[in-house]
Amino acid sequence: MIFVLSLLLLIVSLAVFTAVETRRIEARFPPIGSRVAIAGGVISVLDRPATAGNRAAVLLVHGASGNSADLAVALADRLAAAGFRVLSVDRPGHGWSDRIGGDDGASPAVQAAALRAAAEKLGVGRALVVVHSLGALAGLALALDHPDFVRALVLISPVSHPWPGGVAWYYGLGARRWLGAPFRRLVALPAGRLQMRAAVEGVFAPNRPPRDFIVATRLPLVLRPRHFRANCQDVAHAEAAVAAMSPRYGAIRAPTEIVTGDSDGVVYAHIHSAGLARDIAGARLTTLAGVGHSPHHTAPDRIVAIVLAAERRAAARETAGGERRMASSE
């Protein structure tokens, strides 16, 4: 009897802790930027205007366990100073975006369509698409399914191809509707709080994360039950997604830049980055020495230079296409 009562007390305590801490996290990291209504829900977008010059728009798409602030903190000011309008989005179900698509919300195609719709509502009909890690799946889906939207594609430490070993067990559990609910509402948040700093250090290794990384990138938002489930669904679905998408990469025509660190301990660069360089015609691969899974934080100026290179390639392609159209009409 004492054991049962103790177990019930523990369950209640963990449930109350998660509920209270979720409200504290949301109060500390409230919605910022634009709340863009599209079919099926709302997408949260940080819209940073250019501070000099007048280049095209850039769409930044974050990876797993993150939100729009991850890429924005590292790149938005630099890209704006280079003349770009910068849209950094919360993927559906992450940050303050709704989980658009219901049971299909983890589909890269569904996420790509939602992100394009949000960008177009803000007046952006074409963009350079810059993605990180698992966010590469949405970027690749944009390039495949919405080629008229993607001027160029920049893939940072991307996930793209089938890989051995699967994903950690807790992603599968956290993705489940009913079986995962006790895990999300009792265990994930307190355990995540305890392990967050070590997890961040592991992602950045062998580099050191910025001192204020967790707060600056609003990382605790991922521990809220609804965000945690969406994140788990995306990761758990990634294997099926890359199996379906990877045979199609040869159809991508957007100028493509791939950048990876040679010390990435999270994503197998020899499978994903090298595979994309092989499968996408004209794709260029840049490997940064001594860099882990977050080159946009570790070497942000190199990333901006690569984005500028992608824009030059896109502009040259557009000019050549215009000249061909003029010649054919004469």
Residues in Cβ contact with 176 at an 8 Å cutoff, skipping those fewer than 6 apart: none
Give the per-residue pLDDT at 329: 58
Residues in Cβ contact with 129 at an 8 Å cutoff, skipping those fewer than 6 apart: 58, 59, 61, 139, 142, 143, 149, 150, 151, 152, 153, 154, 254
Give the per-residue pLDDT at 6: 79
Give the per-residue pLDDT at 100: 97
User: Is 12 a domain residue?
Assistant: no
- pLDDT at 327 > cutoff 70: no
Give the per-residue pLDDT at 324: 58
- pLDDT at 88 > cutoff 90: yes
Select from 235, 299, 242 the least CA-distant residue to 266: 235
With a pLDDT cut of 70, the percent of the chain lying above it is 97
User: Is 90 a domain residue?
Assistant: yes
- Structural domains of the chain, count: 1
User: Is 249 a domain residue?
Assistant: yes
Strand order across the 34-38 sheet: 34-38, 41-48, 85-89, 57-61, 127-132, 150-156, 256-261, 284-288
User: Is 4 a domain residue?
Assistant: no
User: Is 50 a domain residue?
Assistant: yes
- Give the CATH number of the domain where residue 288 resides: 3.40.50.1820
Give the per-residue pLDDT at 322: 63
Give the per-residue pLDDT at 55: 87
Torsion angle of C-alpha atoms 154, 160, 165, 170, degrees rounded to 10: 70
Give the per-residue pLDDT at 204: 97
Contact 126, 153 (CB under 8 A): no
User: Is 300 a domain residue?
Assistant: yes
Q: Are strands 127-132 and 57-61 parallel, antiparallel or unpaired?
A: parallel
Query: Which whole number is the average pLDDT over 200-229?
Result: 97
- pLDDT at 17 > cutoff 60: yes
- pLDDT at 328 > cutoff 80: no
Question: Which pTM does this prediction carry?
Answer: 0.94
What confidence category does residue 2 fall into, taking pLDDT thresholds of 50, 70 and 90? confident
User: Is 121 a domain residue?
Assistant: yes
Lowest mean pLDDT among 49-63, 112-126, 209-223: 49-63
Give the per-residue pLDDT at 197: 97
Residue-averaged pLDDT of the chain = 95
Is 165 buried (19+), middle (13-18) or exposed (0-12) by CB count in 10 A?
Answer: exposed
User: Is 308 a domain residue?
Assistant: yes
- pLDDT at 330 > cutoff 60: no
Query: Which whole number is the average pLDDT over 165-180?
Result: 93
- pLDDT at 318 > cutoff 90: no
Residues in Cβ contact with 177 at an 8 Å cutoff, skipping those fewer than 6 apart: none
Containing structural domain, residue 59: 18-329
